[in-house]
Structure 1
Amino acid sequence: MRNPSRARLAVTVAFMAHGLVFSSWLPHIPSIKRDLGLSDGQLGLLLLGPPAGAMIAMSLTGAACARWGSARVTRVTLVAYALGTCALGAGAAAGSPWWLAIALLWAGALVGAYDVAMNAQAATVERALGRPVMGSFHASWSLAAAGGAAIGGWVVQRDGGGPGHLLGVQLLVLGAVALLATVPLFWSLLDDEAPETDAPKQKWRFERGLILLSIVAFAGLLAEGACADWSAVFLSQERAASPFVASLGYTMFSVAMLTGRLAGDRLVSRFGRARSIGFAALTGGGGMAAGLVVSGLAGPDSLGRTAFVAGLVILGLGIAVIVPVAFSAAADGPGIAAVSTGGYTGWLLGPAIIGGLGQWLGLSAAIWTVPALAVMAGAVAPLGVRALRASSERRIVPTSQ
């Protein structure tokens, strides 16, 4: 067996490559919305592309991991992801919502495939190390995402809107850096463990615990996706923030996610998955709600912007453990694919929900969906973790009877 510590480093770099490339284009969303003349509802429909593509790819990737192993699938999907997401730059440069929608659909498929593979490999490494480390992997994603969002915000601020060709060059450079940084570590990934029985590996898993955790992932990723897609728009449109200040909302949210995920492994080790995820998600939802109340009272001034960003920080600290714990509990490629499908359904519906509600009630009202979903995740998560643990214990058959 290869060195688990070196494999942990390889998976960490893989997560960072994902976060860096993904988040770098997010600060461009407000300028794309403006340049294409999109309403909140139209932007919400356009942003259906990435999660729709992800959902198409995720179940197939889970089955691929079961057949060929997460290490091999991670290598393939990393190369495809690092190179293929440059289509976003080409789609933005085309100046057409239809071309951008196609580029977003393609990029989303690559995101979904790579996400399942690298999380399945992360679960394999966690089992090899014999201690919770999933939170540290997702923390590295948040660190890279914060850096990518800050770079994108600086580009938009400097260029006065960020034309499509500049976005394309930026993503091309980020993709090349991600690929070159990870290739030397390709062969450090771990082969998946052989099954304990002679039964064939499952390509699909449907269990009560996975269904509940899928609901949790649905709420958690909808909240995360809403912050990614709409925080800059909210700060720019509702709180009169400059492009760079608007990008700081998601940057600070990512830093908070980083902090929460670094602490999450210790929290899980001490209090267990069920209690940790429930308490953290409820705290994050409550903090975001408080920030929205203060921001609404203050309006479009510095206090209103600060309060909203503070709410994002508390939310990030709280919901940071949702996805890592859910994926860790799911354990393998098919299980992670099942939970991811639920999660990316939330990511799929998130843009449409926020955009539709923003069109109907206003974005200030629609953004309340985020803390509400965080609270829901905190209530359901312990039930899913316990149900999955009970199901796992029932599958263990004594060697002698």
Structure 2
Amino acid sequence: MIATYAIFGLNGLVFASWAARIPAASSTLGLGSGQTGTLLLIGAVGSVLSLPLAGLVAARFGIGNTVRLGGTAAAVAALTVAFGLVTVSVPVVAVGLFLFGSGIALWDVGQNIEGADVERRVGRTIMPRFHAAFSGGAFVGALIGAGLSALDVPLSTHLAAVAVLSLAVSLWTPRYFLPENAGGEDGTAPRRTRPGGLGAWGEPRTLLIGLVVLGAALTEGAANDWVAKATVDGLGTTESTGAIMFAVFVAAMTALRFVGGPLIDRFGRVRVLQAGLGSSLVGLVVFVLAPSVPLAAVGAVLWGAGAALGFPMGMSAAADEPERAAARVSVVSTIGYTAFLAGPPLLGFLGDAVGIRTALLAVGVAVLASFLVAPVARERTVHATETLRTDPDRIP
């Protein structure tokens, strides 16, 4: 279990190391919101092309090796982006972001399949805590980004250090994942099922769960990519203040993910989902319309807290039936991460016309759609012999 927390946390730190300093990259390359959006879209294309293949890669090479491959690609990508910034080359940065998107896609799907396996083995809701580890890593990454920005440390140097950390941890940590295809001694189902085939793409419930996750992922992704820049552009603040605003959003999200499991077990997925999506919508509106940094921070807190549990609950809902869990998690992850990565760049183009802060209101449409279909994530009862309920302290 510790290994799963670690790999989620590192993923968040690597992603936020880039996201928190997007304004610095834009400034170095002399790009506006629309041009920055184009760069981000290239990274999203890398992810979108890799996501549908991630489940098949995991089936062929294993979950641990999928994470290793993703982490290695992300490290190489970070070095490529760093080189592009040093040489002020937009094409080189674009190549790096494409590779970064591909690596993060493999890493994300792998870690979510692993998290679903661990949650099923423990027998209680813990997926939000794995995503809290992601948010915690992102929070640390955002704070580091804010500090390095305030100290005028070049983003290229920052990314080079992140590349070394990503490579070391992503190669070493998966050795402590759950063993592949290890069944229980009493004849119970295997601890993990291999993600194979494309049949889950034709299941209505799986696709609707994907729609729930789409709204939650889009609001989280929009914040990751644009909260810092929207604060800088919309409120006339410094880059370090923008990075701190992003850290406020991530802190609220992280806190709710740590305490969200017991709330879900007590009130059920649907109620918690709808309460969270409502909070996210209110917070988004407050952030966009706020005339001052403190009030915008209040909106960021509501936005982050509301967006906290949608993605992990979607992963848990997709994994309700162990024998189909891996394939369904792969599908829902693909839909969610497509929105998470492809949606924000499109907001950049809209931001050129109306301002990036105002453009964020478009996210509310997707959040409302997720709210309306949230009942599809209701818990399904699974026969006791289909899960392994063991002491979580014994899980590596």
TM-score normalised by structure 2 residue count? 0.85
Q: CA deviation at 1:201?
A: 6.3
1:311 corresponds to 2:312? no
How far apart in 1 are the matches of 2:57 and 2:165? Answer: 27
Please give the per-residue CA displacement for 1:87-122, whole angstroms capped at 9, x wherever unaligned: 222232231222211111110000000000011011
Give the equivalent residue in structure 1 for 2:248: 252
CA contact (8 A) 1:282 1:379 kept: no
The 5-angstrom pairing of residues 9-158 of structure 1 reads: 9-158=2-151
1:288 corresponds to 2:284? yes
CA contact (8 A) 1:65 1:333 kept: no
Give the equivalent residue in structure 1 for 2:160: 172
How far apart in 2 are the matches of 1:214 and 1:92? Answer: 36
Q: Helix, strand or coil for the counterpart of 1:203? A: coil
Residues 178/361 of structure 1: CA separation in 2 closer, same or farther (3 Å cut): closer
Please give the per-residue CA displacement for 1:144-202, whole angstroms capped at 9, x wherever unaligned: 1011111112212221xx5xxx32332232333344456554322113456959x9964
Q: Which residue identity lines up with residue 252 of structure 2 in the other structure? A: A
Give the equivalent residue in structure 1 for 2:322: none
How far apart in 2 are the matches of 1:201 and 1:377? Answer: 26
Q: Comparing 307-316 with 101-110, which one deviates more in the overlay? A: 307-316
Q: Helix, strand or coil for the counterpart of 1:259? A: helix
How far apart in 1 are the matches of 2:116 and 2:271? Answer: 20
Q: Which residue identity lines up with residue 306 of structure 2 in the other structure? A: G
TM-score normalised by structure 1 residue count? 0.84
How far apart in 2 are the matches of 1:335 and 1:246? Answer: 37
Residues 29/76 of structure 1: CA separation in 2 closer, same or farther (3 Å cut): closer
Please give the per-residue CA displacement for 1:53-83, whole angstroms capped at 9, x wherever unaligned: 1111122111122344323433443344345
Q: CA deviation at 1:334?
A: 2.4
How far apart in 1 are the matches of 2:250 and 2:47? Answer: 21
Give the equivalent residue in structure 1 for 2:356: 363
2:233 to 237, 240, 253: 237
CA contact (8 A) 1:27 1:232 kept: yes
How far apart in 1 are the matches of 2:168 and 2:194? Answer: 36
CA contact (8 A) 1:27 1:156 kept: no
2:272 to 266, 272, 276: 276
Q: Helix, strand or coil for the counterpart of 2:21? A: helix
Q: CA deviation at 1:272?
A: 1.9
CA contact (8 A) 2:150 2:240 kept: yes
Q: CA deviation at 1:246?
A: 0.9
Residues 97/184 of structure 1: CA separation in 2 closer, same or farther (3 Å cut): closer
CA contact (8 A) 1:69 1:191 kept: no
CA contact (8 A) 1:283 1:315 kept: yes
Sequence identity, in percent? 29
How far apart in 2 are the matches of 1:322 and 1:240? Answer: 32
Q: Which residue identity lines up with residue 197 of structure 2 in the other structure? A: K
How far apart in 2 are the matches of 1:325 and 1:105? Answer: 28
The 5-angstrom pairing of residues 207-222 of structure 1 reads: 207-222=203-218
Residues 344/282 of structure 1: CA separation in 2 closer, same or farther (3 Å cut): same
How far apart in 2 are the matches of 1:377 and 1:229? Answer: 21
Gaps of 5+ in 2: 320-324, 387-396
Q: Which residue identity lines up with residue 125 of structure 1 in the other structure? A: V
Q: Which residue identity lines up with residue 240 of structure 1 in the other structure? A: G
CA contact (8 A) 2:315 2:332 kept: yes
How far apart in 2 are the matches of 1:35 and 1:74? Answer: 31
How far apart in 2 are the matches of 1:119 and 1:344? Answer: 11
How far apart in 1 are the matches of 2:142 and 2:303? Answer: 18
Q: Comparing 178-187 with 33-42, which one deviates more in the overlay? A: 178-187
How far apart in 2 are the matches of 1:239 and 1:389? Answer: 46
CA contact (8 A) 1:13 1:182 kept: no
How far apart in 2 are the matches of 1:319 and 1:366? Answer: 18
Q: Helix, strand or coil for the counterpart of 2:20? A: helix
CA contact (8 A) 2:80 2:92 kept: no
Gaps of 5+ in 1: 1-7, 299-303, 397-401
Please give the per-residue CA displacement for 1:313-360, whole angstroms capped at 9, x wherever unaligned: 111111100111111222233222211221232234323431222122
Q: Helix, strand or coil for the counterpart of 1:190? A: coil
CA contact (8 A) 1:66 1:333 kept: no
How far apart in 1 are the matches of 2:40 and 2:60? Answer: 32
1:203 to 184, 197, 200: 197
How far apart in 2 are the matches of 1:39 and 1:186? Answer: 39
How far apart in 1 are the matches of 2:80 and 2:146? Answer: 20
- How many residue pairs get aligned? The number is 370
Q: Comparing 117-126 with 355-364, which one deviates more in the overlay? A: 355-364
What do you get for the CA RMSD once the two structures are aligned? 2.5
